[in-house]
Amino acid sequence: MTTSPALPAAVRIVEMGPRDGLQNEKRLVSADTKVELVRRLEAAGLKAIETTAFVSPKWVPQMGDNAEVLGRVLAAAVPGVAYPVLTPNLKGFEAALAAGAKEVAVFGAASESFSRKNINCSIAESLERFRPVTEAARAAGVRVRGYVSCVAGCPYEGAVAPQAVAEVAATLMDMGCYEISLGDTIGSGNPASIARMLEAVMRRVPAARLAGHYHDTYGMAVANIHASLQMGVAVFDASVGGLGGCPYAAGASGNVATEDVVWLLNGLGVGTGIDLDALVDVAAWISAQLEREPASRVARAVLAKRAQAGCA
């Protein structure tokens, strides 16, 4: 008889809704709505909420209110909750620090073409830009997370070699990133390709320092999380209501919906500390703000069941 590998007792979910979820919205979402979204996510039990991005407002206008949003969120920060923000370079880091950031994230890619489209430089140049960010962060006592995009495929180059992902991930870890989040930016991965990628990365970076950041374009993200869990990954990024997409990956849909991940983990008996019903309320609320239905299958099912029971 074969036995399944042991699953972790608990998983940490890093909520992406306010940043990855909203960055691609064409219509500007008000700072009030963004701050309210963070407050509602805290109340549902999220302990890490990526709040905004200190990127160029010419590149991503939706994040142009970064200092206001982070400042207002931190003014009523909940103890024990982390509010990381994206910082592509020293300029972004200094602005984030001035707004009070205690955690930032640098974001690189395993594909040259995506690196150029997303942050206007080669992979090697990006790593040289991140180095002073990690040094300044260390001096300021700020934690740094690292992202690698295009871990399973690139919108411009197609398949990406697992070795290329491993190389960037290891460099970010050596630079001092406490965790490396592996981004399937276009959601083209499947459990087999994600496992091959993780095998290569884990030869360089221990599983305890990895996170899965899977977009759900082809509906594979939950399966990819299950495969990653079985390989020892215990941190996953997700976006309430399945909001989002990357401005530099046309056609890519949002991160896996946080509700779908919590449903999976509840079913597997893996703890998250998140209240699924409260989270579905947040998905319904932000989707209504954006005048759409939640993309999440679980949110839709829970809402339909509630409506049937006459308590929607």
184 binds Mg ion (CB under 5 A): no
Shortest distance in whole angstroms from residue 71 CB to ligand HMG:
16
Q: What are phi and psi of 104, to 5 degrees?
A: -130, 170
Distance separating alpha carbons of residues 213 and 114, to the nearest angstrom: 16
The token pair that represents 55 in the structure block: 């990127």
Pick one of 12, 13, 14, 20: the residue that binds Mg ion (CB under 5 A). Answer: 20
Pick one of 34, 72, 213, 300: the residue that binds ligand HMG (CB under 6 A). Answer: 213
54 binds ligand HMG (CB under 6 A): yes
The token pair that represents 212 in the structure block: 């899965």
Tell me whether residue 89 or residue 296 sits nearer to ligand HMG (CB atom). Answer: 89
257 binds ligand HMG (CB under 6 A): no
* Among the listed residues 44, 18, 39, the one whose alpha carbon sits nearest the alpha carbon of residue 29: 18
122 binds ligand HMG (CB under 6 A): no
DSSP label at 227? Answer: H
119 binds ligand HMG (CB under 6 A): yes
Tell me whether residue 216 or residue 259 sits nearer to ligand HMG (CB atom). Answer: 216
Mention every residue, 6+ apart, whose C-beta is less than 8 A from residue 213: 16, 147, 181, 182, 183, 184, 236, 237, 255
183 binds ligand HMG (CB under 6 A): yes
Catalytic, out of 150, 154, 177, 246: 246
The token pair that represents 133 in the structure block: 């960010």
Give the one entry of ligand HMG, Mg ion, none that residue 131 binds, where binding means its C-beta sits below a cut-off of 5 to 8 angstroms depending on kind.
Answer: none
Contact predicate 182/151, CB 8 Å: yes
Pick one of 59, 156, 218, 285: the residue that binds ligand HMG (CB under 6 A). Answer: 59
Catalytic residue annotation: 246
